[in-house]
Amino acid sequence: MPIQVNQEQLEFHLYNDSVSYIFRVLEKSRQLEHLYFGKRIHHRESFTHLIEREIRPSTNMFEGDHTSSMEHIKQEYPSYGSTDFRYPAHAILREDGSHITNFTYDSYRIIKGKKTLANLPATYVENEEEADTLEIELVDDVLRCRLILSYTIYQNRSVIARNAKFINEGTETYYLDQAMSMNVDLADDQFDMVHLQGAWAREGHVETKRLSKGIQSIYSNRGASSHVFNPFFALKRLNANEHQGEVYGFSLVYSGNFLAQVEVDTYNVSRVNMGINPYRFKWKLASSESFQTPECVMVYSDQGLNGMSQTFHKLYRERLVRGHWRDKVRPILINNWEATYFDFNEDKVLDIAKTARNLGIELFVLDDGWFGKRDDDTSSLGDWFEYEEKLPNGIDGLSEKVEALDMQFGLWFEPEMVCKDTKLFEEHPDWILSTPERRASHGRNQFVLDFTRGEVVDYIFDLMDKIISKSKISYIKWDMNRHITEAFSQSLPADQQGEVFHRYILGVYDLYERLIKKYPEILFESCAGGGARFDPGMLYYAPQTWTSDDTDAVERLKIQYGTSMVYPLSAIGSHVSAIPNHQVGRHASLDTRAAVAYFGTFGYELDITKLTETEQQKVKEQVAFFKEKRALIRDGEFYRLSTPFENNETTWMVVNEEKSEALVGYYKVLAKPNEAYNRVKLTGLDPDRLYEVNGETTYYGSELMNIGIILAGNYIDRADEYWGQEHPGDYQSRLFHLKALS
């Protein structure tokens, strides 16, 4: 039984084989005290021996009591202003201007399985045996506000999923100024904070910094989770690395403004909280209304960062992604964006599709430029009807022709945006987010539709539905190419303008949900100028995400390495593109470009008709190779072996569950002369099995994991051959396919 309750002392212990989470109700204040989160410990009748209380100079809640300072108590969902001076998990503003809250324990309930979150993405269970949920109800008697803290523990995953819900049970209206999804006060500060940082075309860069006193945070205030920070961070013990040691991972299932912060106080307690960014957030809670926070997923690993990532990968692949495509291998696609940009017509795209089909590619995706009068990025977003000069037979005609090639057809949309030269804008100039009497800033010549408004979402749904329903569409790429400025909705009253960012993302989720309901077999790929919305919220709707607009293989080593901290390979959109690469001008070989793109959803984004015959033959072989290996890549355990952020060499691998097959990618950025001897040490294999590597040499798993694949040649008595060989040059890659011999 993974949730144990001591009824008398009101202590709660959630545990499974790998993780324990313990908290209790404080005797006097009836607030919640956090006791432990980490590796599974023994269950005991009571955990009162874990309480730390000493007399310190401080303010105290109760007269005559000198140990009731909340500043000195580790908590579950703290408030500010009644003896705790650290940053809180929530804040409520009353109409009288006061901010003090006092949520005290009311009751608990244990639910088999896991509830869904209304209108929000979340992890789920398929049957009730997979998880148990503990709901703690607290009440503020003055506000007559009920707070429900929800904790789900999965049976076989090292995961605790949390969220909070506020319900106004009184008659007064008040405002949520802050409503984080979770808070946990860890007992010490001996951690590095690891997170993903970036910008357009360089997303997912891993940053590691030692925790220090005060606040360290990552956040978004852009209306999307953004390129700059991902809604994820890890706290890893100072001696932990990719393979061993303790790591806590935190991931927010949300696509809008977020805040994740760690506050190390003067007693070295690390207060961690994560949720909707309180900056510019203010939610009006009138009588009988409720507010549901997004979900925060917390992972504990005692097997380093790889252990944490594998737990996230499995959970997100199996119990966050939903629907038709969840368990299916994804089609190998070709996208025309870097092949043609806006300059295409039906003949051109059919040429690309035909050539691609002959090489075994399964899905053709028509990107930006098929609608309105869109010849560049200055026009037409919002006019979701075909550009007849380019596509005289419409999307329906084109999609039929593509399907006749025995290929699937996919289409690009950017549903949340509008350009000023459109019918949409002409009819509804007030449908953009903009502040009265102020200029509305543009991004890429486009403006953001007010998705807080139901009628706007309805309108876009209808336009998209018209195109989709008359055509043969198997895939949709949903893009979003700018961030939100002058966030103000003309449809909301003054005291609800603080709701705009959250309502906006709820509108986006709503449109996704409606499209998925109507077209459950369409594969969605989310995108936001590359990876600006690569987050778990999006994965609930779109099983894969375009990782970055940087398609260069060497740059992708870092981007994909970082992205894999949280997200499974089945979600990581990765394409082979042209050389010189369009973002950095690099010339990586076709082999290396594919060797990097294999570790993702895999596809092509170049004018395949311009490749030489030899190159096309190579593409054919790559496509065949990926088809053979894609189930392994999709479902296997992924291990990062050496990091591109510190080394000239990057190595990663994927191993199937039975440990009978693996694929290793080894990449060397710059060629070096007369180098040190190099070996690729593997992990995750069966030490006792004999593996054939690339159909040639055999090694035991124990050799591969303790000695490694020897990269140096064996040139005994063959000096001429050695000196005569051609040097492979920069941007090399090697793949090792391992097959266990029965």
Residues involved in catalysis: 479, 549
Query: How many residues can be counted in the chain?
Result: 742
Residue closer to ligand DGJ (CB basis): 83 or 336: 336
Residue closer to ligand DGJ (CB basis): 68 or 380: 380
Residue 489, H or E segment: none
| 527 is a site residue for ligand DGJ (CB under 6 A) | yes
Shortest Cβ 603–ligand DGJ spacing (Å): 11
Shortest Cβ 205–ligand DGJ spacing (Å): 18
Residue closer to ligand DGJ (CB basis): 145 or 527: 527
Site size for ligand DGJ (CB under 6 A)? 11
The answer to whether 301 and 158 have CB atoms below 8 angstroms apart is: yes
Binding mask 354-393 for ligand DGJ (x = CB under 6 A): -------------xx-------------------------
Residue closer to ligand DGJ (CB basis): 479 or 661: 479
Shortest Cβ 412–ligand DGJ spacing (Å): 6
CA dist 289 and 296 (Å) reads 22
Residue closer to ligand DGJ (CB basis): 464 or 653: 464
Residue closer to ligand DGJ (CB basis): 45 or 376: 376
Residue closer to ligand DGJ (CB basis): 317 or 575: 575
What are the φ and ψ backbone dihedral angles of 465, each rounded to 5 degrees? Answer: -60, -40
Shortest Cβ 375–ligand DGJ spacing (Å): 12
Choices 420-428, 525-533, 644-652, 655-663; region in contact with ligand DGJ by CB under 6 A: 525-533
Kindly tell me which residue out of 154, 364, 504, 546 binds ligand DGJ, with binding defined by CB under 6 A: 546
Interacting positions 438-477 with ligand DGJ (CB under 6 A): none
Interacting positions 477-496 with ligand DGJ (CB under 6 A): 479, 481
CA dist 469 and 446 (Å) reads 27
Choices 92-100, 202-210, 501-509, 527-535; region in contact with ligand DGJ by CB under 6 A: 527-535
Q: What amino acid occupies position 710? A: I
CA dist 632 and 636 (Å) reads 5
Shortest Cβ 694–ligand DGJ spacing (Å): 34
As a three-state string, the secondary structure of 185-232 is: EECCCCEEEEEEECCCCCCCEEEEEECCCEEEEEECCCCCCCCCEEEE
- Upstream peptide bond of 580 is cis (omega within 30 degrees of 0): yes
Nearest to 403 by CA among 366, 349, 353: 353
Kindly tell me which residue out of 124, 154, 229, 337 binds ligand DGJ, with binding defined by CB under 6 A: 337
Task: Please enumerate in sequence order all residues whose Cβ is within 8 A of that of 484, keeping only pairs 6 or more positions apart, or say none.
Answer: 222, 223, 224, 433, 448, 501, 504
Structure tokens at 123: 């992890």
Task: Report the 10 Å Cβ neighbour count for 117.
Answer: 18
Kindly tell me which residue out of 412, 501, 534, 598 binds ligand DGJ, with binding defined by CB under 6 A: 412
Shortest Cβ 539–ligand DGJ spacing (Å): 17
Choices 184-192, 325-333, 384-392, 524-532; region in contact with ligand DGJ by CB under 6 A: 524-532
Q: What amino acid occupies position 330? A: R
Residue closer to ligand DGJ (CB basis): 216 or 481: 481
Kindly tell me which residue out of 450, 549, 550, 661 binds ligand DGJ, with binding defined by CB under 6 A: 549
Choices 48-56, 140-148, 526-534, 662-670; region in contact with ligand DGJ by CB under 6 A: 526-534
Kindly tell me which residue out of 307, 507, 530, 543 binds ligand DGJ, with binding defined by CB under 6 A: 530
CA dist 626 and 597 (Å) reads 10
Residue closer to ligand DGJ (CB basis): 605 or 649: 605
Shortest Cβ 170–ligand DGJ spacing (Å): 47
Distances, alpha carbon 113 to alpha carbons 129, 135, 328, in Å:
6, 12, 25
Task: Report the 10 Å Cβ neighbour count for 372.
Answer: 20
Residue closer to ligand DGJ (CB basis): 121 or 529: 529
Choices 228-236, 523-531, 552-560, 585-593; region in contact with ligand DGJ by CB under 6 A: 523-531
Shortest Cβ 369–ligand DGJ spacing (Å): 8
Kindly tell me which residue out of 294, 307, 415, 529 binds ligand DGJ, with binding defined by CB under 6 A: 529
Nearest to 260 by CA among 183, 166, 160, 177: 183
Q: What is the DSSP string of 575-614?
A: EEE-SS-TTT-----HHHHHHHHTSSS-EEES-GGGS-HH
CA dist 595 and 666 (Å) reads 9
Shortest Cβ 367–ligand DGJ spacing (Å): 5
Choices 218-226, 243-251, 253-261, 522-530; region in contact with ligand DGJ by CB under 6 A: 522-530
Structure tokens at 114: 């896991």
Q: Tell me the Ramachandran region of residue 10: left when phi exceeds 0, alpha when psi lies from -120 to 50, beta otherwise.
A: left
Shortest Cβ 506–ligand DGJ spacing (Å): 24
Task: Please enumerate in sequence order all residues whose Cβ is within 8 A of that of 238, keeping only pairs 6 or more positions apart, or say none.
Answer: 190, 191, 192, 210
- Burial class of 692 by CB neighbour count within 10 A (0 to 12, 13 to 18, 19+): middle
Q: What is the DSSP string of 711-735?
A: -S---TT-HHHHHHSPP--SSEEEE
| 552 is a site residue for ligand DGJ (CB under 6 A) | no
CA dist 599 and 577 (Å) reads 15
Nearest residue relative to ligand DGJ (C-beta): 368
Residue closer to ligand DGJ (CB basis): 362 or 368: 368
Shortest Cβ 608–ligand DGJ spacing (Å): 17
Contact footprint for ligand DGJ (CB under 6 A): 337, 367-368, 412, 479, 481, 527, 529-530, 546, 549
